[in-house]
Structure 1
Amino acid sequence: MRRKRYVPDLQEMASVAESNYLRFLRLLPETDEGGERTFAITGMGDQSARVRIRIDEVQPYTTMLTVQQEGLSPEWVTPPSMNVRLYHDASMAEVLSYQNQHKFEGRYQYPNPQMRLPDEKIQLNKFLADWLEHCLQHGHVEQSFSFTPTF
Structure 2
Amino acid sequence: MTLCEHNYVRLSKLLPKERTAKSVRKVKLGSSEFAIIIDDSAKYTLDISIKQLTGMVKGVSPLYLTVRLYQDAKVAEIIHHDYHQRIKPSYGYPNPKMHQKDEKYQLNAFLYDWLVACVEHGQAVLNWDINNGLV
Shared topology, TM-score over 0.5? yes
Q: Give the whole-Å Cα distance in 2 for the aligned partners of 1:77 and 1:132.
A: 20
Among 42, 51, 59, the residue aligned to 2:34? 51
Question: Counterpart of 1:105?
Answer: 88
Deviation for aligned residue 1:66: 0.2
Q: Give the whole-Å Cα distance in 2 for the aligned partners of 1:143 and 1:95.
A: 27
Instruction: Provide structure 2 residue ranges, at least 5 long, that are not aligned to the other structure.
Output: 128-135
Q: TM-score, normalised by structure 1?
A: 0.77
Asked whether the 8 Å contact 1:39–1:143 carries over to 2, the reply is: no
Alpha carbons of 1:143 and 1:97: their partners in 2 closer, same or farther (altered >3 Å)?
A: farther
**Secondary structure, aligned partner of 1:123:** helix
Asked whether the 8 Å contact 2:35–2:52 carries over to 1, the reply is: yes
The question of 1:40 aligning with 2:28 is answered yes
Asked whether the 8 Å contact 2:16–2:23 carries over to 1, the reply is: no
Matched residue type, 2:93: Y
Asked whether the 8 Å contact 2:10–2:115 carries over to 1, the reply is: yes
- Among all aligned residue pairs of Structure 1 and Structure 2, give the percentage whose two residues are the same amino acid: 36
Instruction: Provide structure 1 residue ranges, at least 5 long, that are not aligned to the other structure.
Output: 1-13, 43-47, 145-151
Runs (4+) of structure 1 exceeding 4 A deviation are: none
Q: CA RMSD in A?
A: 1.5
Question: Counterpart of 1:20?
Answer: 7
Question: Counterpart of 2:64?
Answer: 81
Question: Counterpart of 1:4?
Answer: none
Q: TM-score, normalised by structure 2?
A: 0.86
Which of 1 and 2 has higher RCO (CA within 8 Å, sep 6+)?
1
The question of 1:115 aligning with 2:98 is answered yes
Matched residue type, 2:28: A
Deviation for aligned residue 1:64: 0.6
Q: Give the whole-Å Cα distance in 1 for the aligned partners of 2:119 and 2:97.
A: 33
1:15-49 per-residue CA deviation (whole Å, 9 max, x = no partner) reads 0111111111111263222211111112xxxxx00
